Structure 1
Amino acid sequence: MFAEAGVPAAVVLPRSTADVVAVMQTASRHGVPVVPRGGGSGLVGAANAVDGVITLVTTRMDAVLEVSATDRLAVVQPGVVTRALRDAVAGLGLYYPPDPASYDWCTLGGNLAMDSGGLCCVKYGVTSDHVLGLEVVLADGRVLRTGRRTVKGVAGYDLTRLFVGSEGTLGVITEATLSLRPAPATPVTLVASFASTAQTGRVVQRVVTEGLVPSMLEVMDRTCIRAVDDLMRSGLDRDAHALLMAQSDAGGEAAVAEIAALTRICTDEGADLVHSTDDAGEADLLLAARRMAWPALQRLGSGLLLDDVAVPRGRIADFMDGCQQVAVRAGLVVAVVGHAGDGNMHPTVVFDQTDADQRTRAHEAFDAILALGLELGGTITGEHGVGRIKTEWLERELGPVSMSVHRAIKDALDPQGLLNPGTMFRRAAVGDLPAVASAQA
């Protein structure tokens, strides 16, 4: 919504690493910027084209090249849809944990570029926690291989981690070696409703301090609850101020015991309703309510601005309450849904995009929420990335020394500044670069 976008000079859809090498060699020789793009599900404009660039779309590189049950790994191309990998390994009793809400259509290349998370991060971590190695085409067309296939390995710098989360600014990922886990047991699922966000916050704190490690711990505020219930007619508690969803995939009696402990905590903290089930169908319905939060909120206004702030788990209630104060000041609706287990919240500003005043207030509310997150000891992004709409805030969070190191790495790997210019770093507009003008001529 607030990320600039333009018209590329060309769009290419490579099918192999060799194709990507040819594109980058040509772009480097002529000084033409390149914007890598996956499935287009990103929310910060990191894959938006700008005038005169080459948009390099990796969706045709969609092969699962190898699955090894012995080594518990998969080798994939970047265009593989995240859910397709999970389905591909399920028959071998294996599991790829990262599960962004868009996992039905987002691609692994985009997940790698943004270091995406998902609903199961509380137990299994984010994308970077499951990457063993990469194949990357650098700005000048050279092919770099990072990492390894072994369980352990510390030779050299950790270049794999450097490229994961780099948002296409350091190279184009053309292959990834990903670690897999044994498939989890059928989970036991819990849902609890609360009259206040403070109660929900205390539950999250106790989950951590009492040593519980659920495979999922999600939260929705009243606005989200009602929006989802209006869409799905799922019988959610519309009067609740917060709804907590949790799962345990520990298996058998261990899962039952973990959910029983979580039930006790919710009851102790005054939950109005606590319900648990080991029925897979019922669990799928409950999870669908969480995954449908974004589509449900889209029905509330013609414009949505989704934020992505992570705060310490002890400050979740403060953050949710603060977002409502921002909403009151802005005179707009702000709905909050998020991964309570790791403190990654997704407040969404709802507004009328045809109303210039509301657009201005929405942007101000977005900034106020970012400021709130930093004030509470958090970060401006937990999984969506910086893209083109948070470049100023990246500098505020990291400070001048860190930014100088970032720029030094960028300059070393991409001295012409061709890869995804304008993403992460505040730079001159791409259209102002002489190289683009000459390329268009």
Structure 2
Amino acid sequence: MSRTLIELLHEGLPAEAVLTDPDVTAAYSHDMASFCEAGVPAAVVLPRTVEQVQHVMRTATELRVPVVPQGARTGLSGAANASEGCVVLSLVKMDRILEISPVDRIAVVEPGVVNATLSRAVGEHGLYYPPDPSSWETCTIGGNIGTASGGLCCVKYGVTAEYVLGLDVVLADGRLMSTGRRTAKGVAGYDLTRLFVGSEGSLGIVVRAVLALKPKPPQQLVLAAEFGSSKAACDAVCKIMEGGHVPSLLELMDRTTVKAVNDLAHMGLPETTEALLLAAFDTLDPAADLAAVGALCEAAGATQVVPAEDVAESELLLQARRLSLTALEAVKGTTMIDDVCVPRTALADMLDGVERIGEKYGLTIGVCAHAGDGNTHPTVCFDAADPDEARRARESFDEIMALGLELGGTITGEHGVGVLKKEWLAREIGPVGVEMQQAVKAAFDPHSLLNPGKLF
């Protein structure tokens, strides 16, 4: 079958777009998640046009070969992992920004456009594309759409789903479907656009996206507040949100994360603190907003509150936050990054619970969080070469997800389900929810060829 598959792929694709060398295709077999099974792809294809994507899907449907869509493979749930004998459909070569309209405040892009590339391009027009995952310098818009990703600015500006107005999607049988709109408003029919956002490539292949933009805000200034406990830091978060403040970011790093960042980058962050809270404003008078938030932090028990003096100092603090996951990985060499989101009122209970779980399993677990959203990233650090430690890491990971559900939260705020959290998706949404989602999957992909083995 493999030879027939390759021959058929070559009929509609240039030779350089079809990769079959096992040493090359192995690099496309998985994303950045740990503990996620991955198969060996029969081929990797790198199309440049919609027609080439359609050809791949028609071929796959004819031969009943699974197809796994991929972006930059920066995902953390195994959603981009290859299935055995599949065609990996890498969309990184479809990387054109097709249109930027300052009047309509939209951008039209192909899925392989890198998030940071789009952000800089629209910035030249005085516009702003808010979703900014930590991997924004490398992750693609298609991948962001597939996982409904978020980022540091979500507390004010929201997540990817709120910026996707319309999509062109190649379906499993090769047909091209358009969803949504490019207008400011539109409610014609079911919202299929939102259905595709977060579907992890299981319903269709996004080949074009119409994205909403905002006017570029003023440069933000950042405040750093040190706390003697995670509870005090979480109390400050609640006071800030209850007080009606709208920070452009509100991020938390626990003691373990601060130390890891210092060890990696020698940034001089205060290691005597139990929790470091970063708040930022991109308003016309950010200094006044920071002063008000600083007072709330002090009232909640902050031991020190330091507002950045300028944009450069603010960017340094944000760089420290963006380095968190990389720094924690360096602690033991391997990490499992959880993505549990809880109500803000349960944030302190979540952090305290994670600390107890770390002590129970004798593991280092650092927590960085989009605190303003209640979206925590407990990161289990372990030695993958130690079977017992790897087992404890997996068990602690599962306990953290269980804790999140007990606190009224969700198993994933922005990383998706993929392979890693299939069992937990079923627990969160229940059997009826699973049945309905499987029915939607069957309607779009009756032969279950698109990213099989993910989500359910």
Global fold match (TM > 0.5): yes
1:126 aligns with 2:171: no
Correspondent of 1:306 among 337, 346, 361: 337
1:257 aligns with 2:294: no
1:267 aligns with 2:298: yes
Aligned counterpart, 1:194: 227
| Number of equivalences | 423
2:267 and 2:393 map into 1 onto residues whose CA distance is: 30
1:284 and 1:298 map into 2 onto residues whose CA distance is: 22
Aligned counterpart, 1:336: 367
Aligned counterpart, 1:433: none
Aligned counterpart, 1:421: 452
1:402 and 1:200 map into 2 onto residues whose CA distance is: 36
Correspondent of 1:66 among 99, 106, 109: 99
Q: How far is 1:277 from its partner? A: 2.1
Correspondent of 1:7 among 40, 49, 55: 40
Other structure's SS at 2:258 match:
helix
1:264 and 1:168 map into 2 onto residues whose CA distance is: 46
Deviation digits for residues 255-302 of structure 1 (CA, Å, limit 9, x no counterpart): 222211101101111211111125111111110100011111121102
Aligned counterpart, 1:277: 308
1:116 aligns with 2:153: no
Output the amino acid matched with 1:64: I
Output the amino acid matched with 2:115: T
**Contact 2:66-2:83 within 8 A present in 1 as well:** no
Greater shift after overlay, 43-52 or 378-387? Answer: 43-52
Q: 1:225 to 1:134 in 2, by over 3 A?
A: same
Aligned counterpart, 1:353: 384
Other structure's SS at 1:272 match:
strand
**Contact 2:172-2:450 within 8 A present in 1 as well:** yes
Output the amino acid matched with 1:125: G
**Contact 2:156-2:249 within 8 A present in 1 as well:** yes
1:154 aligns with 2:187: yes
Write the mapping of 1:105-254 to structure 2, written as runs, cut at 5 A: 105-251=138-284, 253=285
Show structure 1 runs of 4+ deviating over 6 A.
none
Aligned counterpart, 1:398: 429
Other structure's SS at 1:7 match:
coil
**Contact 1:113-1:164 within 8 A present in 2 as well:** yes
Output the amino acid matched with 1:129: E
1:316 aligns with 2:347: yes
Aligned counterpart, 2:31: none
2:443 and 2:326 map into 1 onto residues whose CA distance is: 41
Aligned counterpart, 1:429: none
2:301 and 2:354 map into 1 onto residues whose CA distance is: 23
Deviation digits for residues 357-399 of structure 1 (CA, Å, limit 9, x no counterpart): 1111100000000000000000000000000010000000001
Aligned counterpart, 2:85: 52
Larger RCO, structures 1/2 (Cα 8 Å, 6+ apart): 1
Identical residues among aligned pairs (%)? 54
Other structure's SS at 2:405 match:
helix
Other structure's SS at 2:268 match:
coil
Q: How far is 1:51 from its partner? A: 1.3
Output the amino acid matched with 2:168: E
Q: How far is 1:207 from its partner? A: 1.2
Output the amino acid matched with 1:60: K
1:378 aligns with 2:409: yes
1:22 and 1:232 map into 2 onto residues whose CA distance is: 47
Output the amino acid matched with 1:378: G
2:334 and 2:119 map into 1 onto residues whose CA distance is: 32
Deviation digits for residues 18-41 of structure 1 (CA, Å, limit 9, x no counterpart): 110000011001100000000010
Output the amino acid matched with 1:79: G
1:87 and 1:188 map into 2 onto residues whose CA distance is: 19
Aligned counterpart, 1:82: 115
Output the amino acid matched with 1:51: E
Q: How far is 1:331 from its partner? A: 0.9
Other structure's SS at 1:300 match:
helix
**Contact 1:187-1:278 within 8 A present in 2 as well:** no
**Contact 2:101-2:107 within 8 A present in 1 as well:** yes
Output the amino acid matched with 1:86: S
Give 5+ residue unaligned stretches, structure 2: 1-33
Deviation digits for residues 158-192 of structure 1 (CA, Å, limit 9, x no counterpart): 00000000000000000000000000101121000
Deviation digits for residues 183-208 of structure 1 (CA, Å, limit 9, x no counterpart): 01011210001000111111111111
Give TM-score scaled by structure 2 length. Answer: 0.92
Greater shift after overlay, 258-267 or 217-226? Answer: 258-267
Deviation digits for residues 399-427 of structure 1 (CA, Å, limit 9, x no counterpart): 111111101000011000000001101xx
Other structure's SS at 2:142 match:
helix
Deviation digits for residues 33-76 of structure 1 (CA, Å, limit 9, x no counterpart): 00000001001110011210000000000000000000000000
**Contact 1:134-1:175 within 8 A present in 2 as well:** yes
1:360 and 1:234 map into 2 onto residues whose CA distance is: 33
Output the amino acid matched with 1:414: D
Correspondent of 1:43 among 73, 76, 84: 76
2:359 and 2:137 map into 1 onto residues whose CA distance is: 35
Other structure's SS at 1:423 match:
coil
Greater shift after overlay, 56-65 or 266-275? Answer: 266-275
2:381 and 2:135 map into 1 onto residues whose CA distance is: 20
Output the amino acid matched with 2:49: S
Output the amino acid matched with 1:293: S
Greater shift after overlay, 277-286 or 336-345? Answer: 277-286
